[in-house]
Amino acid sequence: MKRFVGLVAFVVVLCAGISAAQITVSWPTADKPSLKLTFDKFVQSGIVNGEGIFVSEVTAQNVSEQGMPRSVFTVFITDQNGVRIGRARLQLPEIAPYRAQKAQVQFSATGTPAGVSLLAGKTIPLKVVSVPPGATFKVDGEDQGVTPKLVDFTIGTHTIEFSKEGFATGSTPLDVGADELPGGSVSFELGGLSQDTVELRDGTTVLGDVMSMSLTGVTVRVDGKEQEYDRNQVKKMILVERITTQQPAVTQPVQPK
Amino acid sequence: MLTGDLVSVSGMEIVVKVGVNDQRFNRNQVKRIVLVEREAPAAATP
């Protein structure tokens, strides 16, 4: 019976899925750190193919006087014997001096995580170019400024989104490999708009065909339906060039007298 | 760039009042229109 109770207790601990307490790692060295990473308890969220899926909240504290740029680390997860049992990618945003940022790591591991070690990811500077230039762009949802601009990319897959007034917004995936050479460029050609753009004063944008405008209102056809706006609702309109189609001449036969 | 009062926009033409004269433009000549907020005219007093 005692053995049974012991087994039940073990199963309960496993199901709770919470391993060791917080782990703090200093980077790059323990004696002269610029970053202190505190990994919260590893919480097991499930099991896939016999491997546990773990999540840990990470607090990254910049302990230096210098700002820490956006960075990525490879986190090696070890068990209590120091054997590597999993790997995770930790992506950190820019951290101001003496400030902290929260992040999260998720990984699968074949045992019980007990320790971590870090490998700093390098960044590769690439020039982001658009045709035409002057487009604002975001990398992984973060504003980067206006093209052309040199951006430090971490190794991995990124999404670059471009927008420029008068052009259709566009995005492109970018894979940055560890063997990528710095000094390269990413180029994106912005497509033309196929519809008129009507920007309202409340910040919304309507894409459609501007049918007419008077001193009091604006009519825009959106998906075949006409929408009316008070003229004062409209802040800006960007009109696309319309192609005039040649109508075939209609000939009427001469009526016999 | 042209500054004036936008009188109307149709499928083919744009009319802008510059000074006292109406100027007509082919719609394809116009790329961007920025509108100012207008105040509703005051009701006429009897």
Nearest to A214 among B8, B33, B37 (CB): B8
A205, A226, A237: best to mutate for the B interface, most B CBs within 10 A? A237
Number of domains in chain B: 1
Interface residues on B facing A, Cβ-Cβ cutoff 8 A: 6-11, 27-28, 30-35, 37-38
In this structure, are strands A84-92 and A71-78 parallel, antiparallel, or unpaired? antiparallel
CA angle B13, B16, B21 (to 5 degrees): 120
Q: Which ranges of chain A does DSSP label H, i.e. alpha helix?
A: 2-16
Would you say residue B39 lies in a domain?
no
Selecting from B8, B28, B33 the residue whose C-beta is nearest the C-beta of A236 gives B33
* Whether the Cβ atoms of residue A54 and residue A43 lie closer than 8 Å to each other: yes
What pLDDT is stored for residue A257 in this prediction?
55
Q: Is the peptide bond before A148 cis (omega within 30 degrees of 0)?
A: yes
Q: Can you say how many angstroms the Cα of residue A191 is from the centroid of all Cα atoms in its chain?
A: 22
CA A77 to chain centroid, in Å, comes to 25
CA-based R_g, chain B, Å: 13
Distance of CA A37 to the CA centre of its chain: 22
Partner residue opposite B8 with nearest CB, options A213, A232, A237: A213
Position A163 pLDDT exceeds 80: yes
Which residues are registered as beta bridge partners of A98?
none
CB-CB contact of B5 with B16 (8 Å): yes
Q: State which residue of chain B sits closest to A214, comparing Cα positions.
A: B8
Test B35 with A237 for CB contact under 8 angstroms: yes
Counting the structural domains of chain A, the total is 3
Q: Is residue A8 part of a domain?
A: no
What pLDDT digit, counting tens, does each position of A23-46 carry? 998 887 788 888 899 999 999 988
Q: Is the pLDDT of residue A248 over 60?
A: no
Residue predicted with more confidence, A70 or A224: A224
CATH number at residue A200: 2.30.30.100
Mark whether A167 and A78 lie in a shared domain.
no
Percent of chain A past pLDDT 70, that is, above it, reads 82
pLDDT at A51 over 70: yes
Structure tokens at A225: 């339906």
* pLDDT score, position A5: 41
When CB atoms are compared, the residue of A201, A210, A232 closest to B9 is A210
Residue A162 tokens read as: 């471009």
Q: Average pLDDT in the A92-118 region?
A: 89
Which residues, given as ranges, of chain B have pLDDT below 50?
Answer: none
Predicted ipTM beyond 0.85: no
Q: Which residue has the higher pLDDT, A234 or A152?
A: A234
Closest partner CB to B30 (pick from A166, A234, A239): A239
Q: Is the peptide bond before A132 cis (omega within 30 degrees of 0)?
A: yes
Q: A149: which strand partners?
A: A128
Q: How far is A236 from chain B (nearest CA, A)?
A: 4
A87 shares its domain with A132 = no
| Residue with the larger pLDDT of the pair A141 and A67 | A141
Q: Hey, are the CB atoms on A236 and B10 less than 8 Å from each other?
A: no
CATH number at residue A86: 2.60.40.1470
* Residue A54 sits in the same domain as residue A79: yes
- Cβ distance B27 to A239 less than 8 Å, yes or no, reads yes
For residue A126, pLDDT beyond 50: yes
> What percent of chain A clears pLDDT 90, i.e. is strictly above it?
31
pLDDT > 50? residue A6: no
pLDDT score recorded for residue A32: 80
pLDDT(A144) > 90: yes
How far B46 CA lies from chain A's nearest CA (Å)? Answer: 24
Instruction: Kindly tell me if the per-residue pLDDT of A92 is higher than 70.
Output: yes
Q: Quick check: B37 and A201 CB within 8 A?
A: yes
Q: Are residues A116 and A141 in the same domain?
A: no
- What CA–CA distance (Å, rounded) separates A123 from A189? 25
A88 and A175 fall within a common domain: no
If asked whether residues A22 and A114 sit together in one domain, one would say yes
- Average pLDDT over chain A, rounded to whole? 81
A173: its two tokens: 């995936």
* A17 min Cα distance to partner chain B (Å): 59
Residue A248 lies in a domain: no
Show the domain range for A220.
196-238
How many beta carbons lie within 10 A of that of residue A77, not counting itself? 26
What is the span of the domain harbouring residue B6?
1-33
A103 and A26 both lie in a single domain: yes
Q: Which pLDDT belongs to residue A253? A: 59
pLDDT at A155 over 80: no
Q: HSE (CB half, 13 Å, CA atoms) of A73?
A: 26
Are residue A114 and residue A29 in the same domain, yes or no?
yes
Residue A207 in contact with residue A195, Cβ under 8 Å? yes
Backbone angles phi, psi at A9, to 5 degrees: -60, -40
Mark out chain A residues that contact chain B at CB-CB < 8 A.
165-166, 201, 210-215, 218, 231-232, 234-239, 241-242
Q: Could you give the C-alpha distances from A140 to A5, A55, A156, A256, B22, in angstroms and in order?
A: 50, 22, 11, 74, 48
CA distance A174 to A156: 8
Within 13 Å of residue B21, how many CA atoms lie on the same side as its CB? 3
Task: List chain A residues with CB under 8 Å of B32.
Answer: 165-166, 236-239
For the stretch A196-239, pLDDT in tens is 989 999 989 898 999 999 988 999 999 889 999 999 999 999 99
Using CB atoms, pick whichever of A210, A212, A231 lies closest to residue B38. Answer: A231
Indicate whether this model's pTM tops 0.80: no
Does the N-terminal peptide bond of residue A97 adopt cis geometry, omega within 30 degrees of 0? Answer: no
- Spatial CA neighbour of B21 closest among B37, B38, B36, B7: B7
Please tell me whether residues A58 and A115 are part of one structural domain.
yes
Inside any domain, residue A255: no
Query: Is A135 buried (19+), middle (13-18) or exposed (0-12) by CB count in 10 A?
Result: buried
